[in-house]
């Protein structure tokens, strides 16, 4: 068991402090406006109303009641402009563009072929190749659902053609897609940074080792799994010589160079994350043009898709920021902090409760919504307990990625089912992803037991 007070201690205390308490009288009991608002938001989400509208509506009504129309109008006028003009958010559309261009330019095919050639001759080689290729694609994508959708169309038919178990194969694709949430450029990391104020560059770099650990853990887990259930992945007779393997790697050299440039640039401080997004998007475009594999109209389609996804994320994050401000004003955050102090809760107990909360809610709430509705109150408590904000960010992203493959509402599961119609059904997929959830439990324990996995690289940046 780690020494939480020292290994996770941070001088960063965040920018959220307690505010005045505002109460409603309900049947003789004092109930904070924040608590009522939080419950109302959960009810709206339960009714199927999109998260941005649910969270935003509660925040607007709550701020109006707690402070009044003048402050509300001032907030609505200033907050969107301040957020939209923040260079930190620029990385989101650029990272999305980088991934959409890569998917349309056939770059992923080279990665998958190279990974398959490297793993040939091993039982489960196609599953391992899927994990390896998704890990590399994660470094030029940043979106877990995009990765899961693309590899469902490309890798799942191949695995089924070679006699692999459809459910386990689909589970592998869904699980490996979560690597894009950890390995930079991760859109989830950017959203966490925007919502909490943690430095984006350090958060992105903090995800490298946990991402690599997850990829290696999946490969080792697949190997162990197939020892006991070899019928899930029959041996493939096709073999490749060392020369052929090197040739396969050489075809993807430009992608490796781009990955090194983007990640290395952020780590060394050569350019900020926003510039890294521009470098990455430009690099993918140049690779696509040089290989002459960019279909006609693909650039325009990628730009439109990037704008659409970014607009949705902008709306969701704006609602999250308003909700965070509402919880602060209402005194809800102050209540929770006081409760933690009263209970003399340790950092270890708090983290354990966070893990349990996310694992339970992850079965019913999608990953983005989960982060938006919980960070406004979990992050301030974590900073008050002295928990390292960077490590906490990596932990939260790890938990929402586990939520993304947790039945029945995991986003990656829906992405696989949508892209793999006719190849796998929900019952097969929900059963097939279970071995990977077991692997995730082991990986999560390692991340919690050895916080340095997430903090060592950011600390070296100072």
pLDDT digits (tens, 9 = 90+) for 284-341: 888 878 777 777 787 888 888 888 878 887 888 888 888 888 887 877 777 777 788 7
Q: Is residue 55 part of a domain?
A: no
pLDDT greater at residue 44 or residue 220: 220
Among residues 446, 436, 458, 444, which one has the least CA distance to residue 175? 436
Q: Is residue 425 part of a domain?
A: yes
DSSP structural state of residue 8: T
72/21 Cα distance (integer angstroms) = 17
Among residues 462, 373, 383, which one has the least CA distance to residue 15? 383
203/396 Cα distance (integer angstroms) = 12
User: Which string of DSSP letters, residue by residue, matches 200-212?
Assistant: HHHHHHHTHHHHH
Q: Is residue 21 part of a domain?
A: no
Q: Is residue 67 part of a domain?
A: no
CB 113 within 8 A of CB 204: no
Among residues 321, 377, 326, which one has the least CA distance to residue 62? 326
129/273 Cα distance (integer angstroms) = 29
Q: Which structural domain range is residue 244 located in?
A: 88-313+331-460
Please tell me the total count of domains within the chain: 1
How does pLDDT run across 158-190, given as a tens digit for each residue?
999 999 999 999 999 999 999 999 998 888 888
Cα–Cα separations (whole angstroms), residue 232 to 116, 223, 229, 236, 248:
17, 11, 6, 12, 27
CA 194, 195, 197, 202 dihedral sign is negative
Among residues 108, 145, 146, 101, which one has the least CA distance to residue 130? 108
Q: Quick one: pLDDT band at residue 282, thresholds 50, 70, 90?
A: confident
Q: Is residue 4 part of a domain?
A: no
Q: Which uninterrupted H or E stretch holds 29?
A: strand 29-32
How does pLDDT run across 137-150, given as a tens digit for each residue?
888 877 788 888 88
Q: What are phi and psi of 52, to 5 degrees?
A: -60, -40
pTM of the shown model: 0.82
Q: Is the pLDDT of residue 31 over 70?
A: no
Q: Is the pLDDT of residue 274 over 80?
A: no
User: Which string of DSSP letters, residue by residue, matches 48-79?
Assistant: T--HHHHHHHHHHHHHHHHT-HHHHHHHHHHH
How does pLDDT run across 87-146, given as a tens digit for each residue?
667 778 888 888 778 777 777 788 888 888 888 889 999 999 999 999 988 888 777 888
CB 182 within 8 A of CB 400: no
pLDDT greater at residue 281 or residue 26: 281
Q: What are phi and psi of 293, to 5 degrees?
A: -115, 10
Q: Is residue 41 part of a domain?
A: no
Q: Is residue 188 part of a domain?
A: yes
pLDDT at position 326, please?
84
Q: Is residue 417 part of a domain?
A: yes
């Amino acid at each position: 068991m780690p020494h939480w007070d020292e290994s996770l201690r941070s001088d960063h205390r965040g920018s959220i402090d307690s505010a005045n308490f505002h109460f409603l009288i309900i049947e003789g009991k004092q109930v904070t406006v924040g608590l009522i608002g939080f419950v109302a938001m959960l009810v709206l989400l339960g009714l199927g109303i999109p998260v941005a509208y649910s969270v935003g509506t509660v925040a607007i009504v709550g701020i109006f009641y707690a402070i009044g129309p003048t402050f509300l109008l001032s907030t609505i006028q200033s907050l969107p402009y301040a957020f939209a003009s923040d260079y930190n958010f620029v990385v989101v559309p650029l990272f999305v563009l980088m991934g959409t261009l890569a998917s349309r330019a056939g770059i992923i095919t080279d990665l998958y072929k190279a990974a398959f050639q490297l793993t040939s001759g091993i039982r489960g080689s196609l599953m391992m190749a899927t994990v390896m290729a998704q890990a590399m694609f994660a470094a030029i994508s940043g979106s877990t659902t995009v990765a899961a959708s693309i590899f469902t169309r490309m890798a799942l038919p191949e695995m089924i053609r070679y006699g692999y178990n459809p459910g386990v194969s689909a589970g592998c694709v869904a699980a490996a897609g979560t690597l894009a949430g950890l390995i930079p450029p991760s859109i989830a990391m950017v959203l966490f940074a925007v919502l909490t104020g943690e430095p984006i560059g350090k958060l992105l770099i903090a995800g490298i080792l946990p991402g690599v650990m997850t990829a290696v853990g999946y490969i080792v887990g697949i190997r162990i799994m197939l020892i006991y259930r070899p019928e899930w992945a029959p041996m493939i007779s096709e073999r490749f010589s060392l020369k052929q393997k090197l040739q396969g790697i050489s075809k993807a050299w430009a992608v490796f160079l781009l990955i090194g440039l983007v990640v290395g640039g952020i780590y060394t401080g050569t350019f900020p994350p926003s510039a890294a997004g521009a470098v990455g998007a430009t690099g993918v475009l140049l690779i696509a043009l040089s290989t002459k594999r960019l279909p006609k109209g693909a650039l325009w389609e990628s730009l439109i898709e990037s704008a659409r996804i970014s607009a949705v994320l902008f709306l969701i994050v704006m609602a999250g920021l308003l909700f965070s401000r509402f919880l602060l004003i209402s005194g809800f955050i102050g209540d929770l902090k006081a409760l933690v102090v009263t209970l003399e809760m340790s950092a270890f107990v708090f983290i354990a409760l966070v893990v349990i909360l996310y694992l339970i809610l992850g079965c019913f709430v999608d990953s983005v919504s989960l982060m938006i509705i919980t960070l406004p109150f979990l992050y301030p408590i974590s900073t008050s307990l002295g928990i390292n904000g960077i490590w906490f960010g990596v932990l939260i992203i790890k938990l929402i990625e586990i939520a993304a493959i947790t039945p029945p509402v995991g986003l990656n599961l829906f992405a696989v089912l949508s892209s793999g119609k006719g190849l796998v059904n929900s019952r097969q997929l929900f059963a097939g992803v279970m071995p990977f959830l077991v692997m995730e439990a082991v990986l999560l324990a390692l991340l919690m037991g050895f916080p340095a996995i997430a903090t060592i690289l950011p600390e070296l940046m100072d």
